Amino acid sequence: MMAFITHCLKRSAPRLGVSLLSLVLLCGFVVAVHAAEDADAAITTSGTTPVLTIERAENALWLSANFAFGLPAVVEDALLKGIPIYFVTQVDVLRERWYWTNRTVASVQRRARLAYHPLTRRWRLSLGAPDAPDSSQGLTLSQNYDSLETAMAAVRRISHWRIADLSSIEQGASHLLEFRFQLDTTELPRPLQIGTLGQSDWVISLSVEQKLAPELIR
């Protein structure tokens, strides 16, 4: 009887080893698939650090910026269904203080509304800051584009934006500029807002801090 059991175990051992190996390979494949999906999501929603150019002219500071980010498939799908998407750019100029928290001396915001019109198959981008006190900042400019790619190129680029009056900048002091760009989900239809909670595909956010050069605030 002992010999029979030993013989059976010897015959079963290779089969058991093959089964365990198959299970390990299957688990590895599942993990690899999930990792690939996560990597794609990270690539889609990630972006590059914005490159800022600050100039001084007409008693004010002017900002130009270039940055890049991928538009997630779910956001593009919402656009194709006629749902407009809003992007918000916020710029704050802070007076640095070693003895206390930094003080905000200038703050501006720009909103971009991107929408697709199925009848004309064109993309419309509207830029403006309706809440800005300066009327020149509050103008809303709109332009049509033939493709999403060209419309997004305009979203990713900011040219000659007035961000602060020199009168609000303290000469000889150290100042910091904070730049933030993000997709504004609060402008989405209410049911879609609820559906985006906890969804990383709807998170597009870029930010950078940069010290103002002394020659800009003399």
Mean pLDDT of 125-144: 66
pLDDT above 70 as % of the chain:
73
Share of the chain above pLDDT 90, in %: 56
Domain ranges (residues) in the chain: 1-45, 49-216
What is the structure's pLDDT at 46? Answer: 55
Q: Of the ranges 39-43, 105-109, 138-142, 182-186, which one carries the lowest mean pLDDT score? A: 39-43
Q: If pLDDT is split at 50, 70 and 90, which confidence band does 194 have?
A: confident
Which has the higher per-residue pLDDT, 124 or 137?
A: 124
Average pLDDT over the chain reads 79
DSSP state of 44: H
Is the pLDDT assigned to residue 17 strictly greater than 90? Answer: no
Residue range 161-174, pLDDT digits in tens: 999 999 999 988 99
**DSSP secondary structure, the chain, as one string:** -HHHHHHHHHHHHHHHHHHHHHHHHHHHHHHHHHHHHHHHHHHHH-BPPPEEEEEEETTEEEEEEE--B---HHHHHHHHTT--EEEEEEEEEEE--TTS--EEEEEEEEEEEEEEETTTTEEEEEEE-TT-SSHHHH--EEEEESSHHHHHHHHTEEEEEEEEEGGGSPTTS-EEEEEEEEE-GGGS-HHHHHHHTT-GGG--EEEEEEEPPGGG--
The average pLDDT across 118-132 equals 82
Cα 181 to Cα 207: distance, rounded to the nearest angstrom:
6
Q: How confident is the model at residue 218 (pLDDT cuts 50, 70, 90)?
A: confident
With H, G, I as helix, E, B as strand and everything else as coil, classify residue 71. coil
Chain center to CA of 152? 12
> Which one, of 214, 113, 89, lies nearest residue 163 by Cα?
89
pTM higher than 0.75: no
pLDDT tens column, 29-58: 333 333 333 333 333 345 789 999 999 999
H or E stretch at 86? strand 85-95
Confidence of residue 10 (pLDDT cuts 50, 70, 90): very low
